[in-house]
């Protein structure tokens, strides 16, 4: 009799679980969760996100089990070629033809702004991991995207403040001429001037640029103590290499790489970059959790991940957990749940999503190691200090976002 009761109870429980799973799947549109990965897969920003970011996203899907409440997770990707038109048209096609639920990746800020406008018009969700412009959750905020890894505001707060405090008072800004570069230039200029420094000149270069000779000559001619590089990826590498050829450091000027990625330092080598101060949202060798995930990534990709690639994994997991918890892939249902849940994983410490869509978390001031201090080819940074989440990012009291009630 006891056995019969237990069997009956077990059967009822299994049936109830199956019914709940069926109901949850019914709320997932078209019976599948579809994620489109959009990034520069072949150009200037290939190494900082690119195919490696797609692999990080696939790792998250695999670690999650490949499905949500019985609904399969489908992943597809496209190269935006750093073109706002290409990016926006790709996402329109994904919305119309492929029923995309989430657009992930997104690197060039001009592409991101164009794409998030498409997402808002179609009530789909985007998680931005590669873009830097702080305007993405400021004047360009929407209720349809979240900015995950970093932006120009904490980069300026961390690196520019540290350089000025060390005596770098006069700055010349070398800026990529598009949304990201403009935002970084503005944020750095504000921090420099608030801390007693001065912007004595600047020049904007096309994106991307191979020949930095004329721009470095202008920077040298300015007499500024610091040449601030408000660019990223191959542009930063080319600018630093050109400055080295022109003997900028030997002549008494210092370079401040305002957005420098792990892959950039690795490509240029420690001889060229040692002592460089930079701000990062994550570093693979920070602690046991970071190392464990990074080593799994390394086994698949053959190189250590950037903060962007780590952030893509983190944000994808947080999204999938929200779909699972709500039983839905409805954009606003999922976004609201994501905002309610704190984020503390191998990537983020003290993380949370604010009403403007900015995921705030602790940032880190790092210094590039000397060749003698490095133990192997990816042992590149020394973490000097943490910048608490609430200090790192633009306060909501200064926000121009339409979603923020000031």
Instruction: Give me the pLDDT at residue 348, please.
Output: 97
Element (DSSP H or E) covering residue 26:
helix 2-26
Domains of the chain: 12-150+286-361 (3.40.50.2300), 154-280+363-392 (3.40.50.2300)
d(CA 88, CA 114): 6
Instruction: Give me the pLDDT at residue 405, please.
Output: 85
SS3 277: strand
Instruction: Give me the pLDDT at residue 288, please.
Output: 97
Q: DSSP class of residue 358?
A: B
The structure tokens 């990080």 sit at 56
Instruction: Give me the pLDDT at residue 218, please.
Output: 98
Instruction: Give me the pLDDT at residue 272, please.
Output: 85
pLDDT interval class at 402 (50, 70, 90): very high
pLDDT interval class at 17 (50, 70, 90): very low
- Pick from 81, 121, 128: which is nearest to 102 by CA? 128
One-character DSSP codes across 30-42: GGSEEEEEEE-SS
Whether 159 and 256 have beta carbons less than 8 Å apart is answered as yes
The pLDDT of 378-394, averaged and rounded, is: 93
Q: Convert the pLDDT of each residue in 126-150 to its tens digit.
A: 999 999 889 999 999 999 999 999 9
pLDDT at 14 over 70: no
Q: Convert the pLDDT of each residue in 217-259 to its tens digit.
A: 999 999 999 999 999 888 999 999 899 889 998 899 988 888 8
Whole-number mean pLDDT of the chain?
91
Instruction: Give me the pLDDT at residue 8, please.
Output: 40
pLDDT at 5 over 90: no
Neighbours of 143 (CB within 10 A): 17
Instruction: Give me the pLDDT at residue 400, please.
Output: 96
Instruction: Give me the pLDDT at residue 20, please.
Output: 41
pLDDT at 177 over 90: yes
- Pick from 59, 58, 62, 159: which is nearest to 392 by CA? 159
pLDDT at 52 over 50: yes
Q: Convert the pLDDT of each residue in 321-368 to its tens digit.
A: 999 999 999 999 999 999 999 999 999 999 999 999 999 999 999 989
Of residues 365 and 304, more confidence is placed in 304
Instruction: Give me the pLDDT at residue 166, please.
Output: 85
The pLDDT of 75-97, averaged and rounded, is: 97
pLDDT at 195 over 50: yes
**Residue 77: left (phi > 0), alpha (psi -120 to 50), or beta?**
beta
Q: Please state, for a pLDDT cut of 70, what percent of the chain lies above it.
A: 93
Peptide bond between residue 208 and the one before it cis (omega within 30 degrees of 0): yes
pLDDT interval class at 61 (50, 70, 90): very high
- Pick from 157, 138, 186: which is nearest to 357 by CA? 138
Instruction: Give me the pLDDT at residue 406, please.
Output: 66
Q: For 74-97, give the secondary structure using H, E and C.
A: EEEEEECCCCHHHHHHHHHHHHHH
Instruction: Give me the pLDDT at residue 24, please.
Output: 41
Q: Please state, for a pLDDT cut of 90, what percent of the chain lies above it.
A: 78
Handedness of CA 358, 359, 362, 365 (dihedral sign): negative
pLDDT at 18 over 70: no
Element (DSSP H or E) covering residue 115:
helix 109-122
pLDDT at 22 over 50: no
Whether 307 and 281 have beta carbons less than 8 Å apart is answered as yes
Quote the pTM value: 0.86
pLDDT interval class at 273 (50, 70, 90): confident
pLDDT at 81 over 90: yes
d(CA 292, CA 302): 15
Instruction: Give me the pLDDT at residue 16, please.
Output: 40
Whether 283 and 381 have beta carbons less than 8 Å apart is answered as yes
pLDDT at 13 over 70: no
């Amino acid at each position: 009799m006891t056995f019969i009761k237990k069997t009956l109870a077990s059967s009822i429980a299994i049936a109830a679980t199956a019914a709940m799973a069926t109901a949850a799947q019914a709320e997932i549109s078209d019976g599948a969760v579809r994620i489109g990965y959009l990034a520069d897969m072949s150009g200037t920003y290939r190494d900082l996100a690119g195919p490696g970011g797609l692999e990080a996203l696939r790792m998250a899907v695999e670690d999650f089990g490949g499905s949500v409440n019985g609904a399969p997770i489908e992943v597809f990707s496209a190269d935006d070629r750093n073109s706002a038109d290409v990016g926006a048209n790709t996402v329109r096609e994904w919305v119309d033809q492929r029923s995309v639920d989430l657009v992930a990746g997104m690197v060039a800020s001009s592409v991101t702004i164009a794409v998030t406008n498409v997402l808002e018009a179609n009530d789909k969700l985007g998680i931005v991991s590669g873009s830097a412009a702080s305007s993405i959750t400021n004047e360009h905020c929407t209720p349809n995207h979240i900015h995950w890894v970093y932006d120009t505001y904490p980069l300026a707060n961390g690196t520019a403040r540290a350089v000025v405090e060390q005596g770098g008072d006069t700055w010349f800004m070398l800026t990529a001429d598009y949304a990201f570069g403009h935002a970084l230039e503005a944020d750095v200029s504000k921090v420099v001037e608030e801390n007693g420094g001065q912007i004595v000149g600047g020049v904007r270069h096309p994106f991307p640029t191979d020949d930095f000779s004329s721009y470095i000559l202008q920077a040298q001619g300015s007499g500024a103590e610091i040449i601030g590089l408000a660019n990223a990826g191959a542009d930063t590498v080319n600018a630093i290499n050109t400055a080295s050829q022109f003997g900028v450091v030997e002549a008494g000027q210092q370079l401040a790489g305002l957005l420098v990625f792990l892959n950039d330092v690795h490509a240029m080598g420690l001889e060229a970059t040692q002592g460089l101060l930079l701000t990062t949202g994550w570093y693979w060798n920070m602690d046991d959790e970071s190392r464990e995930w990074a080593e799994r990534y390394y086994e698949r990709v053959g190189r250590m991940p950037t903060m962007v690639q780590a952030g893509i994994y983190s944000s994808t997991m947080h999204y999938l957990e929200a779909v699972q918890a709500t039983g839905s892939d409805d954009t606003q249902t999922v976004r609201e749940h994501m905002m309610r849940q704190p984020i503390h994983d191998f990537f983020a410490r003290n993380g949370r999503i604010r009403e403007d869509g900015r995921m705030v978390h602790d940032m880190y001031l790092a210094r590039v190691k000397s060749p003698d201090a490095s133990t192997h080819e990816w042992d590149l940074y020394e973490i000097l200090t943490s910048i608490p989440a609430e200090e790192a990012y633009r306060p909501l009291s200064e926000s121009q976002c339409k979603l923020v009630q000031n």
